[in-house]
């Protein structure tokens, strides 16, 4: 069977063809399954994100209504309750920051925005329905002017230095920096 040179070459070519087919099947099987698994995960992520956005709308809707009605103190009380109930949810901190800024409590507003951004960076993403990028940029600009000048006038004040550090954190995140 392997005595003849022609037989040896034929068996060698047959072995190469079988190996090539096996490799081709292995590669196609791997990518086909990966595509469907990747598509499935992308759909799952999108569904989870949309569910989160809808849940946030329901949870924080009453707070938004109180805010629109100008009842900021009541909105803050409701937010405190929601933040305690859902400590890992960033939206409460972001709303708290917006309300505190409207009330003129700039240092506390900056701290709330920092907490929210640390919990979820989606609030910096312009493409996100939850984006608060413009509000965060505005508070950074205001904070640099206001807190920055107070910190420069009082270089030994640790609370001002801490607030300035938080503003710089938000500025870094706006520029695309990671934690």
Q: What is the pLDDT of residues 48-77, one digit of tens each?
A: 888 988 999 999 999 999 999 999 999 999
User: What whole-number distance in Å separates Cα of residue 120 and Cα of residue 81?
Assistant: 19
Checking if the pLDDT of 9 tops 70, the result is: yes
Q: Which of 45-49, 115-119, 154-158 has the lowest mean pLDDT?
A: 45-49
User: What whole-number distance in Å separates Cα of residue 74 and Cα of residue 11?
Assistant: 85
Instruction: Look up tokens 């099947």; give the residue.
Output: 25
Checking if the pLDDT of 150 tops 90, the result is: yes
Residue 86, classed as helix, strand or coil, is coil
Q: What is the pLDDT of residue 17?
A: 85
Q: What is the mean pLDDT of residues 30-44?
A: 67
Checking if the pLDDT of 22 tops 90, the result is: no
User: What whole-number distance in Å separates Cα of residue 82 and Cα of residue 85?
Assistant: 5
Q: What is the pLDDT of residue 4?
A: 79
CA of residue 3 relative to chain centroid, distance: 69
Q: What is the pLDDT of residue 37?
A: 61
Mean pLDDT across the chain = 89
Query: In the structure, what pLDDT confidence band is assigned to residue 103 with cuts at 50, 70 and 90?
Result: very high
Checking if the pLDDT of 46 tops 90, the result is: no
Q: What is the pLDDT of residue 40?
A: 85
């Amino acid at each position: 069977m392997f005595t003849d040179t022609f037989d040896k070459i034929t068996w060698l070519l047959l072995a190469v063809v079988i190996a090539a087919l096996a490799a081709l099947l292995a590669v196609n099987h791997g990518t086909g399954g990966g595509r469907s698994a990747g598509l499935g995960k992308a759909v799952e992520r999108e569904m989870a994100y949309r569910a989160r956005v809808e849940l946030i709308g329901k949870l924080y809707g009453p707070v938004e209504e109180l805010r629109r009605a100008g009842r900021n103190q009541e909105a803050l009380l409701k937010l405190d309750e929601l933040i305690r109930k859902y400590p890992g949810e960033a939206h409460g901190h972001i709303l708290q920051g917006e309300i505190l800024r409207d009330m003129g409590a700039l240092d506390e507003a900056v701290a709330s925005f920092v907490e929210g951004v640390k919990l979820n960076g989606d609030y910096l993403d312009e493409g996100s329905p939850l984006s608060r990028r413009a509000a965060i940029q505005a508070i950074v600009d205001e904070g640099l002017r206001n807190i920055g000048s107070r910190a420069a006038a009082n270089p030994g004040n640790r609370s001002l230095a801490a607030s300035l550090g938080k503003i710089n954190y938000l500025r870094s995140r706006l520029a695309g920096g990671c934690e």
